[in-house]
Structure 1
């Protein structure tokens, strides 16, 4: 999907499988995480599946859903 554009629609007659939307990962305050860019951190606050505020020690970063580059430890 191109950044800033609407997702492509799937035609029922298409021989290709419909694209699957990625599942939103579940994080809670206090969880230890690793981020591809920032490294190890701790979830400080959650915004109901929209974003997470993560403390990486040297900085705090607001990471938005679907959290592709972040994994729970």
Structure 2
């Protein structure tokens, strides 16, 4: 959870709630072979800090982070 200023709140040890776990975002490099749950097999042709562009053969798609349906082979 973030405050209005954008800073994250700290987790108190006495809190009854579990601390928020940040997901591990997978990193992709140029020419990595990947698979997508809907689009199938592809190859990374471009990568940015928060997105990758993947060529799936019949289409090219830009997929933004977090990459829920994209896995590295």
Confirm or deny a common fold (TM above 0.5).
yes
Q: Tell me the TM-score normalised to structure 2 length.
A: 0.78
Return closer, same or farther for 1:14/1:25 CA change in 2, 3 Å cut-off: same
Of structures 1 and 2, the larger Rg is shown by 2
Structure 1, gaps ≥5 residues long = 1-8
In 2, Cα distance between equivalents of 1:38 and 1:10: 39
Residues 1:58 and 2:58 are matched in the alignment: yes
Report matched runs for 1:34-45 at 5 Å.
34-45=35-46
CA RMSD of aligned residues (A): 2.2
Structure 2, gaps ≥5 residues long = 1-8
In 2, Cα distance between equivalents of 1:21 and 1:62: 23
Runs of 4+ in 1 over 2 A off after TM superposition: 9-14
Q: How many residues are matched?
A: 67
Q: Tell me the TM-score normalised to structure 1 length.
A: 0.78
